[in-house]
Amino acid sequence: MLRALIDAGMDVARINFSHGTSEEHARDIHLIRQLADEKKLPVAIMADLQGPKLRIGEVSPEPLVLKVGDEIVLSSRQSAGEKNVIPLPHPDLIADVQIGDPLLIDDGTIELSVARKMSDRLVCRVVVAGDLFSHKGVAAPRSATNRRSHVSAITEKDRHDALLARDYGVDFVALSFVREPAEIEMLRSLLRGDITGNHDDIPIIAKIEKREAIDDFDDILDAADGVMVARGDLGVEISVQRVPMYQKEIIRKCNAVGKPVITATQMLQSMLSSPKPTRAEASDVANAILDGTDALMLSGETATGSYPVEAVQMMAKISAIVEEKMINWVDAVGFAQVHHAQPITDAISDATATIAKEIDARLIVTSTFSGYTARMVARERPFEPIVALTPSEATYRRLALTWGVTPILVPKCETTDEMLSVIEETVLSLSLAQRGDSVVVTGGIPLGEGRTNFLKVHKLAAH
């Protein structure tokens, strides 16, 4: 099945640490690496940490039928779940909420309002009725608005899982329920640990699914290496009708600084049980691409659905059709409007895309060690294919997440002439270009010093 998913177009495999055992994760990661090597394809692996997913305890008898106006008690003390007293083993959440705050259970299927509050329990009234089952998720969308939440985004389980993921050699770590940049820095420090020498920092993807993350998004974006628009939990935290506009704004801001952005949750939800998506789902996928998303993520469709391969194939087909029409991409944010971490590299990357369009180049080729140059070129969304040559295996895999980039693993080059020779040999041998074609080349020499310092229009030898 993994082989079929890679063949269908899977670029990144997300390992959901909310489920499964360490042994299962290790087995899956090893198998994905093995299959990617067999096929000589860059397939990145993302470890997705569970985060502080808040759940009620046991309900007895089950289900508890709740009607509008009913009163129930959520208690941090041990309880059998009888007589409308429901265990809520999260004292931090009880400390956070205030009288009048809403509590949403099971992704908003049931809504409660906090009527009274004690140190160890909440007395709530039912606002939206429903059948309450054990272990359903709880969200308190207003619990930390204008006040400091006691719930940490990094649990003890996350700490354990993050270190396992680092030891497994994953390419990205996704942090769930981010609220502030300090949590990203906390995870980064944990991943670095006491490792010394040539350790390569694992990029951190901030999952935007909390109201606080929306409010503090600019600082979170600055701290993170990439972003995921996690629309499921975000749609519980804020009104569903606002999610599309936040999605567009988040994608635009990520594009402006050249950081990869993933659009996730229910992209092809009907394909859990149907071999084809709805028209609305196809439009949703297409619009995310037109917004400028780097990647599209499937969740249940490939984790538990009946048509996982067909879902990936469908997403790839929609993407191909939409991207063919993206010739006249308009950059919503001008170059001068963005703070540039590496002004020279960013300026050269911007000019690379412009020159490639003006001369009708066959390819854009970036020689990169960290992947930064390739990402900066990709932020311009050029119509010409982007080929990233790198000697770094980590960069080779990680660039699989960036829009429009074909990463290729090559030996390290020490001189410009050596680099041009490797570029010419590589693109011709892989039929990415033909003799006589013009390609726009950008990179830095010596490679690995973290700077781009040249741009060249190179015509491939006629023979």
Enzyme catalytic residues: 14, 55, 207, 265
Element (H, E) at 237: helix 231-237
Helix, strand, coil in percent for the chain, rounding step 5: 40, 20, 40
Which phi and psi angles does 19 have, rounded to 5°? -130, 160
Pair type for strands 261-264 and 226-230? parallel
> Cβ–Cβ contacts within 10 Å for residue 340, how many?
16
Q: Which of 353, 357, 364 lies closest to 458 in space, CA to CA?
A: 364
For residues 85 and 83, give the distance between their C-alpha atoms in angstroms, rounded to a whole number. Answer: 5
Residue 414, token pair as written in the block: 């020490």
Whole-number Å distance between alpha carbons of 33 and 30: 5
Can you read off the two tokens belonging to residue 86? 């429901």
The H or E element spanning position 122 is strand 121-128
- 273: tokens are 């049980």
Rounded CA separation 291/266 (Å): 17
Strand, coil or helix: what is 436? coil
Residues 436 and 422 sit within 8 Å (Cβ to Cβ) = no
C-beta atoms surrounding 411 within 10 Å? 9
In one letter, which amino acid is 296? Answer: L
Q: Which CA distances in Å does 84 have to 55, 66, 151, 428?
A: 16, 9, 25, 71
What is the Cα–Cα distance from 68 to 111, expressed in whole angstroms? 9
CA–CA separation, 61 and 73 (whole Å): 15
Question: Which residue, among 194, 101, 207, 103, has the nearest Cα to 147 in the 3D structure?
Answer: 101
Tokens 């002004």 sit at which residue? 343
Which of 112, 106, 126, 116 has its CA nearest to residue 56? 106
Residue 65: beta bridge partners?
Answer: 131
Find the helix or strand (DSSP H, E) in which 315 lies: helix 308-324
Structure-token pair, residue 397 = 């895999």
Residue position matching structure tokens 């830095």: 444
